[in-house]
Amino acid sequence: MSEVFEGYERQYCEVSASLFRKCTAASALDGEKKKQRLSEIQSGVQEAESLIRKMDLEARSLQPSTKAGLLAKLREYKSDLNNLKSEIKRISAPNARQATREELLESGMADTLAVSTDQRGRLMMTTERLNQSTDRIKQSRTTMLEAEDLGVSILQDLHQQRQSLLHAHTTLHGVDDNIGKSKKILAAMSKRMDRNKWIIGGIMSALVLAILIILYFKFAY
């Protein structure tokens, strides 16, 4: 069921139950107090009609499988409201209090009260179902919030792990740079050693040649 429809339905049940109580109280009043109470009832009826229109629009915007059940329930609410309007007209009529007494004597009012009681019972049952639905929605929201907190915690852990990986990557990059520098130094040292080998070889060759020349002149003369 649509949460929007349930919200309107809950408001309607509360308004309707309040109107029935006010009608019962107004039937026992006279004069200005009665007019004031009837004015309050008319305002409540307008609010109830507005809620029924909102429920009707919301129900017709839903899927056919859901819409059919809601429209059937809406027809019951419209019937209840029509009965309430009839009761208001009866109370508003001149000598309504006397008429009420006569109807009670003729037991006609007993049937009306029975209908009102039945309607109130249905409204109370509907209100209870709505309250149960509200509790389930609250539980679902609590579960969603807990899941959201868990997701945030997991994201924070992942962020910390990412930072650790980035730090390790930076460290490895620094090691690579140092290895590259070491390779360059070793290459330079290798070149220098090769150059020194050639120099030493040249010096040794010159010494051997000098010794051979000395020996030649020594034995020749």
Mean pLDDT for the chain?
81
Q: What DSSP letter does each residue of the chain carry, written as one string?
A: --HHHHHHHHHHHHHHHHHHHHHHHHTT--HHHHHHHHHHHHHHHHHHHHHHHHHHHHHHTS-HHHHHHHHHHHHHHHHHHHHHHHHHHHHHSTTHHHHHHHHHHTTHHHHHHHHHHHHHHHHHHHHHHHHHHHHHHHHHHHHHHHHHHHHHHHHHHHHHHHHHHHHHHHHHHHHHHHHHHHHHHHHHHHHHHHHHHHHHHHHHHHHHHHHHHHHHHHHH-
What is the rounded average pLDDT of the residues 160-171? 84
User: Does residue 117 surpass a pLDDT of 70?
Assistant: no
Packing angle, helices 31-60 and 3-26, rounded to 10: 160
Q: How confident is the model at residue 106 (pLDDT cuts 50, 70, 90)?
A: very low
User: Integer distance in angstroms from the first to the last C-alpha of the chain?
Assistant: 130
User: Does residue 155 surpass a pLDDT of 60?
Assistant: yes
**Count of residues for the chain?**
221
Of 46, 130, 37, 36, which Cα lies nearest the Cα of 85?
Answer: 46
What is the rounded average pLDDT of the residues 184-196? 86
pLDDT at 50: 93
What is the rounded average pLDDT of the residues 37-47? 88
